[in-house]
Amino acid sequence: MDTNPRDDFNLMIAGEAGQGLATFGELVVKALVRSGYYIVVTQSYHSRIRGGHNTFAVRLSTEPISTSRDALDLLVAMNSDGVRLHHDELAEDGIALADEKLDAEGARLVKVPFGDLAPGKFANTAGLGVVAALIGLDQALVDDLVQEQFGKKHPETADSNRTALENGYAWGREHLPRAGKRVKPATRSSTPRLALNGNQAIALGALSAGVRFVSFYPMTPSTSIPLTLIAAADKMGVAFEQAEDEIAAINMAIGASFTGAPAMVATSGGGFALMVEGISLAAMTETPVVIAVAQRPGPATGLPTRTEQGDLELVLHAGHGEFPRALYAPGSVEQCFHLTREAFLTAEASQGPVFILTDQFLADSFRAVDPLEVEGLETVPVPVDAQPVALPYRRYEVTDSGVSPRLLPGFSEHLVQADSDEHDEQGHITEDHGVRIAQVDKRLRKLDVIQERVIPPDASGDPNPDLLLVCWGSAKGAVEDAAAQMRAQGHSVGTLHFSQVWPLVPEQFVPALEGAKRVICCEGNAMGQFARLIRRETGFHIADTVLRYDGLPLTPEYILERCCTT
């Protein structure tokens, strides 16, 4: 057994919903990121508020990482189920920690006398101390963090938290085998990184692009997008409302956007299904709107708290009638930020609905993110000033680009008239067949506006490889990691990740598909939806797939096992 400090360490906190596990996990995450580690968090939970079994896993590394690992170096069990259910996931030299009062047994299980370390209320702080001592985090840094988190709201707890942390550290250093010697220390960066999950990054991206309105109806795993926006709303000037249902949410966003506010909604599959008529309305009235769909397994209520990439076809086809759209599918937390910005700009440029497809895995996955540049970022150009327009003003003037001059109601004497019925250039209801054709063609010409902005897929690894792994959205990290492991074993492997899944521009990727000896599409769904889409659009048939639809995210181990046998 190699007992030298390693670059990489994998820990899991397991317990019951309602035990403050996520709060504890987020504290560990912040301590690690401040200490300079890169992280990937995988959260898994049942939708029951109390009593369900939850896990919060953090892989940390001194080097950039983009995916989780299965084998655990440390298991922190907050109840006896935590030990029972996860003990066999321990690596060869991994250890498990549990309160000595718990009824739990197992090899390399270390029992911690939490009752002696701190009174119950401060047990999590003592726990943080024990974990931090094992990893070898700087105590002053962790102490600052704890004071910051609890001290502001409850100054009277400052001393108790400090003592609990000290006791945790002291106990850990004394009793844990190889405490502080398991992981290499990380280098703290001069500009501190952010600890962000995918949904927070979507919200920050929206704020940076100038979002001014958000409406939503709560639905896991999308809710933290609006909640992040609302937390910043007063400071950033964002109007918001929890709508009576998803139908109201999308229609409110359309109303807000028509009036001038860059607007977004966030939902998951079932809620999105309710929004579908509204998507068509945004297209017909040519109203920009950004729709974030955080996928979870369906059909119907499915597995509410798990992950899947099963709604690509739903979102691609949602809305009756024919109209252009763009679908972004971020593969990392950074991409959540940047592609949300892109979504807002594309929505305004093409005056219609634009989608962001994420999923529970990415939504909840915290990562260490290099500080996001906020200076000089482009924001959505809101047409507040009545631009010079041809008179009489016609909201749906037929133009070469298909994009008509957009004015805002009440900002000039020009009347802005929008209609969900087919309409003439003015916006008046019509049944004239010639006008109908002109307006359909005008709307569809905007596909070129979207196409010009398409983000090409990202290639990594060997060019013209023996094996090309194709993926989209949140599968990026796992697929690229699996490919790297195969290359390390001497295989010729490349990857192709799509962070925009519609429209597809065949010239951007068909040569890469044709240049590989074998192509496998890796997706988090049962029907290989993206492989089918590529075949439909290009004729290229990706015969082999690695599909996962048990509710868990794709991992390198999962892909490697199946790539090598299919």
What minimum distance in Å lies between the beta carbon of 438 and other proteins? 19
Query: Strands 367-369 and 194-196: what pairing?
Result: antiparallel
**CA 419 – CA 35 distance, rounded (Å):** 55
The span from the CA of 408 to the CA of 397, in Å, is 15
Residues between 396 and 415 with contacts to other proteins, criterion CB under 8 A:
408-410, 412-415
Pattern 261-300, other proteins, x by CB under 8 A: xxx-------------xx--x---x---------------
483, 461 in Cβ contact below 8 A? yes
493 lies in the binding site for other proteins (CB under 8 A)? no
Among 212, 367, 476, 548, binds other proteins (CB under 8 A): 212
Smaller CB separation from other proteins, 222 or 251: 251
Asked whether position 245 contacts other proteins by CB under 8 A, the answer is yes
Residue 528: strand, helix, or coil:
coil
Nearest Cα neighbor of 418 from 286, 322, 251 is: 286
Positive or negative: CA dihedral 382, 452, 369, 227: positive
Per CB under 8 A, contacts with other proteins among 349-388 are 371-372, 374-375, 377, 379, 382, 384
The structure tokens listed for 164 are 């609990």
- When asked if residue 331 is in the footprint of other proteins (CB under 8 A), the reply is no
| Selection from 29, 63, 55 nearest residue 135 by Cα | 29
Q: Are the C-beta atoms of 254 and 246 separated by less than 8 Å?
A: no
Kindly state the smallest distance separating residue 278's Cβ from other proteins, in Å: 7
User: With CB under 8 A as the contact rule, which of the stretches 47-55, 166-174, 237-245, 532-540 interacts with other proteins?
Assistant: 237-245
For residue 145, state whether it binds other proteins (rule: CB under 8 A): no
> Is residue 149 part of the contact set for other proteins (CB under 8 A)?
no
Could you tell me which residues come within 8 angstroms of residue 352 by beta carbon, excluding any fewer than 6 positions away?
A: 282, 283, 286, 287, 288, 289, 323, 324, 325, 443, 446
3-state secondary structure 36-102: CCEEEEEEECCCCCCCCEEEEEEEEECCCCCCCCCCEEEEEECCHHHHHHHHHHEEEEEEEEEECCC
392 binds other proteins (CB under 8 A): no
Give yes or no for a contact between 441 and 492, defined as CB atoms under 8 angstroms apart. no
Which range binds other proteins by CB under 8 A, 52-60, 256-264, 347-355, 529-537? Answer: 256-264
256 scored as a contact of other proteins (CB under 8 A): yes
Nearest distance in Å: CB 500, other proteins: 24
Cβ-based neighbours of 163, under 8 Å, separated by 6 or more: 118, 122
Q: How far apart are CB 160 and other proteins at their closest, in Å?
A: 24
Is residue 38 within 8 Å of residue 62, measured between CB atoms?
Answer: yes
Rank residues 96 and 145 by Cβ distance to other proteins and give the closer one. Answer: 145
Element (H, E) at 386: none
Q: Which of 176, 252, 276, 336 binds other proteins (CB under 8 A)?
A: 252
CB of 283 to other proteins, least distance (A): 12
Peptide bond into 299 cis (omega under 30): yes
**Strands (DSSP E) along 244-370, which ranges?**
263-267, 289-295, 326-328, 353-359, 367-369
Kindly tell me which residue out of 170, 236, 398, 454 binds other proteins, with binding defined by CB under 8 A: 236
Stretch that binds other proteins, among 68-76, 116-124, 420-428, 480-488 (CB under 8 A): 420-428
Rg (CA), the chain: 26
* Residue 238 found at the interface with other proteins (CB under 8 A): yes
CA separation for the pair 79, 322 (Å, rounded): 54
Structure tokens at 63: 């080097």
Nearer to other proteins, 346 or 545 (CB): 346
Nearest in space to 53 (alpha carbons), one of 75, 27, 77, 28 = 77
Name 493's bridge partners.
467
Residue 235 touches other proteins, criterion: CB under 8 A: yes
Of 55-63, 298-306, 426-434, 556-564, which segment contacts other proteins by CB under 8 A?
426-434
Is the Cβ of residue 36 or residue 94 nearer to other proteins in the bound state?
36
Total residues contacting other proteins by CB under 8 A comes to 72
Query: Contact 393/427 with Cβ under 8 angstroms?
Result: no
**Residue with smaller CB distance to other proteins, 282 or 534:** 282
Q: Please pick, from the candidates 22, 170, 227, 239, the single residue that binds other proteins as defined by CB under 8 A.
A: 239
The amino acid present at 388, given as its one-letter code, is: P
456 makes contact with other proteins (CB under 8 A): no
C-alpha–C-alpha distance, residues 4 and 7, integer Å = 10
One residue of 183, 233, 315, 336 binding other proteins per CB under 8 A:
233
Name the residue nearer to other proteins (CB basis): 244 or 514: 244
Taking CB under 8 A as the criterion, the residue among 44, 251, 307, 439 binding other proteins is: 251
Note whether 321 binds other proteins by CB under 8 A: no
Give me the least distance between CB of 507 and other proteins, in Å please. Answer: 36
Question: At its nearest, how many Å lie between other proteins and the CB of residue 211?
Answer: 9
Kindly state whether residue 433 participates in binding other proteins, applying the rule CB under 8 A: no
Unique residue bearing structure tokens 């492991």: 485
- Is residue 546 a contact partner of residue 563, using CB atoms and an 8 Å limit? yes
CB of 364 to other proteins, least distance (A): 15
d(CA 245, CA 268) in angstroms, rounded, equals 13
For position 91 contacting other proteins by CB under 8 A, the verdict is no
Residue 120 DSSP class: G
Specify the stretch interacting with other proteins by CB under 8 A; choose among 57-65, 204-212, 297-305, 503-511: 204-212
Among 91, 158, 247, 526, binds other proteins (CB under 8 A): 247
Q: Which positions from 156 to 195 touch other proteins by CB under 8 A, shown as an x/- string?
A: ------------------------------------xxxx
Q: CB 230: neighbour CB atoms within 10 A?
A: 16
Looking only at residues 28 through 67 of this chain, which bind other proteins when binding is defined by CB under 8 A?
Answer: 33-34
